[in-house]
């Protein structure tokens, strides 16, 4: 298996946030982790990046065990994260933010080529190239952090709530670029979303979380019409 989360448990103080969660994916897949706020999907993502230590379980990526490594080492294994709430470096220029994304790399020519690629994918960033990132709109900042993660030339891209607080029109743009990143570069994607309609539309498979556990898993296209999903998230139609 290319990427595997094996039976993980996570605690915050003594409260269990994630219980016996297992996830697996093949290379080139996009999977979605959906569920309500506090269901444990973001915690699972934080565990993959090394920001949150596991209580039990293992995480494996392409033959390497990740769960004992610190965050900066996990990036070097090819796992890049787009954190929740965007978290741009607010007083740095768009350019410096993007260059920070390539922090672990030293191949100058490839970095320059990837920088061109990101600017071509998000032309707005080119317009704001030397502006401080903190002055960008929410949607532009989201593009910036996705571009920043791409600058690491990742093989596995993690996105934590990329649609949160973004204008509906821009959510579509961002969804399209996630599909394109997966398709064009063969980057595997794990997408955490409360917006399950969007997440199920652009992923191959999905795991639905409920109170720290995986309640339902399956092919995204099938889950979109699954009455259990609609019941689980009250959202009525997806």
Partner 1 sequence: MEQIIANGLYLGAQYALIALGLTLIFALMNVLNFAHGQMYVIGGFVTYTVYAQLGLPFVVGVAASGVTLAIIGALVQKFLFGPVIRKSVREESTMLLAAGLAFLLDAVVLLLFGEKQRGVPKIVNGIFNYNDYTIVMPYDKILVGVLAILAIAAFILYMQYSKTGRAMRALAQDKVAAQLMGVDVDRYSIIGFALGAMLAGVVGGLLVTVTGINLGMGGPTSIKAFMMVMIGGAGVISGAIAGGFILGMLESVGLTVLAAYGDITYLVIFASLMVFLAIRPQGLMGKPWG
Site for partner 1 in 131-160 (CB under 8 A): 148, 152
Would you call 16 exposed, middle or buried from its count of C-beta atoms within 10 A (0-12, 13-18, 19+)? middle
Residues 140 and 65 sit within 8 Å (Cβ to Cβ): no
Q: Which of 100, 179 has the CB closer to partner 1? A: 100
Beta carbon of residue 143, minimum distance to partner 1 (angstroms, whole number):
16
Nearer to partner 1, 125 or 232 (CB): 125
Q: Which residue has the tokens 């954190």?
A: 83
Among 99, 164, 170, 171, binds partner 1 (CB under 8 A): 99
| Burial class, 105, CB count within 10 angstroms (exposed 0-12 / middle 13-18 / buried 19+) | middle
CA trace torsion 161, 30, 24, 83 (10° rounding): -30
Among 1, 65, 90, 225, binds partner 1 (CB under 8 A): 90
The residue among 88 and 223 lying less far from partner 1, judged by its C-beta, is 88
Asked whether the beta carbons of 94 and 131 are under 8 A apart, the reply is yes
165 binds partner 1 (CB under 8 A): no
Interface pick for partner 1 out of 78, 83, 162, 212 (rule CB under 8 A): 83
Task: Rank residues 18 and 144 by Cβ distance to partner 1 and give the closer one.
Answer: 144
């Amino acid at each position: 298996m290319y990427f595997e989360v094996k039976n993980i448990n996570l605690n915050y103080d003594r409260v269990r946030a994630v219980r016996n969660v297992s996830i697996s994916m093949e290379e080139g897949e996009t999977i979605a982790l959906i569920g309500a706020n506090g269901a444990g999907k973001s915690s699972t993502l934080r565990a993959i990046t090394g920001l949150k230590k596991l209580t039990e379980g293992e995480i494996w990526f392409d033959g390497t065990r990740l769960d004992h490594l610190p965050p900066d080492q996990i990036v070097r294994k090819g796992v890049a994260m787009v954190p929740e709430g965007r978290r741009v470096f607010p007083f740095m220029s768009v350019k410096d933010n993007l260059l920070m994304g390539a922090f672990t790399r030293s191949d100058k020519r490839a970095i320059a080529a990837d920088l061109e690629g990101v600017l071509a994918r998000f032309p707005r960033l080119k317009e704001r190239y030397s502006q401080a990132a903190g002055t960008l709109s929410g949607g532009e900042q989201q593009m910036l952090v996705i571009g920043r993660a791409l600058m690491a030339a990742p093989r596995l891209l993690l996105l934590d709530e990329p649609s949160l607080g973004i204008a509906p029109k821009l959510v579509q743009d961002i969804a399209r670029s996630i599909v394109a990143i997966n398709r064009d570069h063969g980057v595997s994607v794990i997408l955490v979303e409360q917006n399950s309609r969007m997440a199920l539309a652009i992923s191959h498979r999905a795991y639905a979380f409920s109170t720290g556990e995986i309640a339902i898993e399956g092919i995204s296209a099938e889950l979109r019409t699954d009455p259990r999903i609609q019941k689980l998230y009250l959202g009525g139609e997806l």
